[in-house]
Structure 1
Amino acid sequence: MSASVKAYDELITRLKKSALLRSCSAILEWDEQTYLPPAGAGHRADQLALMAGMFHQEATSPEIGDLLQELESASEWEADSIEQANIRESRHEYDRMTKLPRRLVEELSRVATLSHHAWVKARQENQFKDFLPWLEQMIDLKREQAAALGFHGQKAYDALLDEYEPGATSEMIEQAFSPLRNELVKLVAAIHDSGISPDVSILTRKYPVEKQREFSISAAEKIGFDFHSGRLDIAAHPFCTGIGPGDCRLTTRYDEHHFPGAFFGTLHEAGHGIYEQGLLKEYFGTPVGSSTSLGIHESQSRMWENLVGRSRSFWDCFYQSAQAQFPEALTNVTQEDFYRAINDVRPSYIRVEADEVTYNLHIMLRFELEQALIAGDLQPTDLETAWNEKFTEYFGITPDTPAHGCLQDVHWSAGLIGYFPTYALGNMYAAHFFNAANQELGGLDELISRGEFVPLKEWLNQKIHQQGKRYRANRLLEVVTGESLSHEPLVAQLSRKYSELYNL
């Protein structure tokens, strides 16, 4: 065994040990958002801060730095090989982590836990002022984190964005978003001017929660989520977390009088879960056993939620089952009317319940606001006013409560600043991937209408999930589709679908 191979094996051993620590934190975080009694928040904050410090100590050990330096000087690693990718991405993560003091890592974890519980209560009571002190603490900590990371003259925000979309910058994202925004505004206007207004009251009839749960689970299982290796629970804000091989947790939330929320939320999280379950188990804890980026991750959830779940072909397969599950709500509703209702386009307050066309505008609003928060151009105390003003500018309606405005998302309470743009990137990636899969598999609409989801799932497993971090996001897109990221495939898909629905 050569010295470099021995060093590589030692690196992998250390990475897997760090990953086990991180997975312990993940189960504590999942429990925090699902079953933890509110009075236990302080103790859980201390537990998670301790775990974060232990992980940081393990992940930043000088021995890892020495191993990386030795491996980088070796010449035997082929370009795009598993070994080369693990070394490259381990260096990226090591350099980020070693710039952060353990004190800051622990404090970010502690405040995120306490902030989350404050956010849940403030959202329930519609009181932004009750969450504001925690938001101020979190923004101060994230500014400190960005300063510690540094980004060679670029925006401080970019240092935070890099955690979720490695290699991306706010300038690159704005270049991608700008033409998309222009096209979406025109499409929204055309839909509004069509005068067509689907009967969305169909979706607010009585849908018993237990029946929703059963129907959502059956759909998630049908598209490929393995409940033998996962589960579905309730949380204030839906999420998916991959604990480790054989253990992936989904959450959703139910409203007896709003069918789309839980159903499409569950499909969305199941898309994340299928990605987590598709990672190569033997590489757990290494970059090649981890997701490429949050943008790629969101491409999977948004694809199953929208390109599959809101398609006509999906309901060719599922609508009779839906009528049987919800006879009181749907017995006298045609499939066409139901399809039009779930694809209704109109300005709305809640991002996770927004239609495909306006959804990206919700993301762009948050992208602008969180950049301003980190730059200091917007202070947390002014966030509610700034949100409402910008929302009115974007959508022509003004949030009537904080819960419908700046308190609706969990991300800022958890310190996930830089995450939001990955949703819109995910929509763009998804359009590229779906086109490629459609071409290679010979017509996804027919497969989906017959309930044959395995071909698409296996295509995604092979082309995307099993690649892990072998490639960065844009390079993966090129490898899989032969294309560079563009707004055009997404705009084309939306235009085709909604031109037919609204006679454009």
Structure 2
Amino acid sequence: MTASEAYAELVRRSKELGVLNSCAGVLNWDHQTYMPRNGGALRGEQMAFLASLSHQKFTDPKVGELLGTVEASDLVRNPESDAGANVRELRRGYDRATKIPQALVEELARVTTQAQQVWEQAKKKNDYPSFRPLLEQVVKLKREEANAVGFKEHPYNALIEEYEPGTTVAELKTLFAGLTAELAPLVRKIVASPKQPDKSVLEREFPVDRQKVFAEAAAVAIGFDFHSGRLDTTAHPFCSGFGPGDCRITTRYNPRFFNEAFFGVLHETGHAMYEQNLPTDHFGTPLGVACSFGIHESQSRLWENQVGRGRPFWDHFYPRLQQTFPSALTDVSKEAFYFAINDVRPSLIRVEADEATYNLHIALRFELELALLSGDLTTGDLPGAWAERFEALLGLKVPDDARGCLQDIHWSFGGIGYFPTYTLGNLYAAQLMDAVRREFGDGIEEDFRRGDFTRLKGWLNQHVHRHGQRYRAGELCQRATGAPLSPKPFLSYLNEKFSALYGVC
């Protein structure tokens, strides 16, 4: 077999796996939206079967032979070529997958499917003990995965690699220590400022049916294609990109709090536009897959915060919002509303946290994940450890587990190592927007005031979306912004924005 034939066969197999994994994605979406509660056991078996089948196909020794043939050829001489990038990432995935026993893959799929369903009920009932046995299993299985894959220094390094290749615990510890040192004083100054917004204007009656219409209109305006996607309701908002022509987002509505659904929709729309603008001809191969979870998160945080919580965005949308909710907002000025949606104060719930405190929530979860995985913290002691560290970081007492260690879905689906990508996403988002503003100047803000987001979306299509996994995250950032990832643009953005709002410096 020639190298060209071997590469063609690799691509064929990879695309076949893409279709298979998209089937599992549809089942997972259904699991979190419309599946009847009693379907959990069967769904667990379905997910375990598909995970096992995918693992078998990917770890077939023939895949290793094909990779070896192509790697020994001139096809991969240029590491940034289609073949060079696809083979590099397929090799990384293959080497990892072949180290994980098939039985472990099946058990993880089965346990995490059950755990997600139990978590949802445990959160509703504030019943951590009912969830703890499954969390114990998840942590145990993720330790087994880390040991199977192999790691240096800390088992967490094996797990973060799945979400953000090349990132290490040592780097993350340095990053979080530096951010916490900068953010904590800023938050203290903001909280102490006599100038504070009236957040109650967001806690009036906002009928859910009107919220849905307004949120969908905003999603369309910034670039979401509803002919290739849909918006549904779930317990924990998420985005599922099944492939070309089918990307679905979810949110949750609160009739007494405007922010919860609207900014959730902007967030998930950012994810969705990444998925909808990946190169369709590369679907199923690394070139048709997002660069990393941190880069993916940068797209959601960019649209949610850098754009959606900016004044120019509301210069355009606020009159329409007042027309949609006249009884709630007729007496609220645009400036009062803008100040309210940028309220900064320590809060219990991560997904409702403001831009200044959000990364403190992530720092907490990162600390606890490290301790759980290493065995320094037991699942029995998790609620107490959460409450203690939360008060130390954010100054609030945690009233119950539903608003404490049960608030996130991630541990139930085995996403240990996932949380740090949220902070990386915030940093990438700020750096990308800084590059956009340097290129277009004040013109980009004028676009937003007119409700025109095509230039920003086009820039992201050009510099982020179309590349898939051609470049690793650090290289993509360097190429798009002209500099390696740095927290400076993010911290400068926060200081400039909140100093103006709160009169602090």
| CA shift for structure 1 position 82 | 1.7
- Give the deviation of 1:3 after TM superposition: 1.5
SS of corresponding position for 1:104: helix
CA distance in 1, matches of 2:2, 2:131: 54
The corresponding residue for 1:408 is: 407
CA RMSD after TM alignment: 0.9
Give the aligned partner of residue 178 of structure 1. 177
**1:264-286 deviations in whole A, cap 9, x for unaligned?**
00000000000000100000011
- Alignment-derived partner of residue 362 in structure 2: 363
For residues 464 and 308 of structure 1, the distance between their equivalents in structure 2, rounded to whole angstroms, comes to 17
Query: Does the residue aligned with 1:332 lie in a helix, a strand or coil?
Result: coil
Q: In the alignment, what sits opposite 1:21?
A: 20
1:402 aligned counterpart, secondary structure: coil
Structure 1: any 5+ residue segments left out of the alignment?
none
Q: Distance in 1 between matches of 2:267 and 2:122?
A: 26
Equivalent position of 1:390 in the other structure: 389
**Is 1:337 matched with 2:336?**
yes
Tell me whether 193-202 or 39-48 shows the greater mean CA deviation. Answer: 193-202
CA contact (8 A) 2:48 2:109 kept: yes
Q: Does 1:12 align with 2:11?
A: yes
* Correspondence 1:98-177 to 2 at 5 A: 98-151=98-151, 153-177=152-176
Matched-pair contact (CA < 8 Å) for 1:240–1:250: yes
CA distance in 2 between counterparts of 1:458 and 1:174 reads 35
- One-letter amino acid matched to 1:115: A
Q: Residue 348 of structure 1 aligns to which amino acid in structure 2?
A: S
Write the letter of the residue equivalent to 2:425: G
Deviation at 1:154, TM superposition (A): 2.4
Residues 1:60 and 2:59 are matched in the alignment: yes
C-alpha displacement at 1:63, in angstroms?
0.8
Structure 1 range deviating more: 375-384 or 437-446: 437-446
Aligned with 2:381: secondary structure? helix
| Letter aligned with residue 186 of structure 2 | L
Contact 2:135 / 2:412 at 8 angstroms: preserved in 1? Answer: yes
Match of 1:457 in 2: 457
Conserved in 2, the CA contact under 8 Å of 1:158 and 1:170?
yes
Q: Could you say which residue in structure 2 is the equivalent of 1:82?
A: 82
- Which digits, 9 at most, give the CA deviation of each residue in 1:375-413, with x for residues without a partner? 101011110000000000011111112111100000001
Q: What is the CA distance between 1:79 and its match in structure 2?
A: 2.9
The amino acid that maps onto 1:416 is G
The one-letter code of the counterpart of 1:247 is D
414-423 or 167-176, larger mean C-alpha shift? 167-176
Kept in 2: contact 1:176–1:486 (CA 8 A): no
Alpha-carbon distance between aligned partners in 1 of 2:241 and 2:79, rounded to the nearest angstrom: 29
Following superposition, the deviation at residue 502 of structure 1 comes to 0.4
Q: Deviations over 1:140-161 (max 9, x none)?
A: 111111111111x321011011
- The answer for the alignment partner of 2:248 in structure 1 is 249
Q: Is the 8 A contact 2:229 2:248 kept in 1?
A: yes
User: C-alpha distance in 2, partners of 1:185/1:60?
Assistant: 46
| 1:424 corresponding residue in structure 2 | 423
Structure 2 unaligned spans of 5+? none
How is 1:425-504 mapped onto 2 (pairs within 5 angstroms)?
A: 425-443=424-442, 444-504=444-504
SS class of match (1:356): coil
Q: CA deviation at 1:75?
A: 2.7
Give the Cα–Cα distance (whole angstroms) in 2 for the partners of residues 142 and 71 of structure 1: 32
User: Residue 289 of structure 2 aligns to which amino acid in structure 1?
Assistant: S
Separation of aligned partners in 2, 1:218 and 1:269: 14
- AA partner of residue 86 (structure 2): N
TM-score (norm: length of structure 2): 0.98
1:181 shift after superposition: 1.5
1:178 CA displacement = 2.1
DSSP-derived class of the 2:74 partner: coil
Task: Check conservation: 1:441, 1:455, Cα contact below 8 A.
Answer: no
Give the letter aligned to residue 353 of structure 1.
Answer: E
SS at match of 1:372: helix
Separation in 2, partners of 1:403, 1:211: 28
Q: Distance in 2 between matches of 1:435 and 1:323?
A: 31
C-alpha deviations, 1:14-60, integer Å up to 9, x for none?
Answer: 00011111000000000000000000100110011000000000111
d(CA) in 2 for partners of 1:499, 1:358? 15
Kindly indicate whether residue 191 of structure 2 is the aligned counterpart of residue 187 of structure 1: no
Worse-matched range after superposition: 369-378 or 77-86: 77-86
In the other structure, the counterpart of 2:29 is: 30
Number of positions where the alignment pairs a residue of Structure 1 with one of Structure 2: 502
Partner of 1:258: 257
TM-fit CA distance, 1:175: 2.1
- Contact 2:75/2:84 (CA < 8 Å) preserved in 1? no
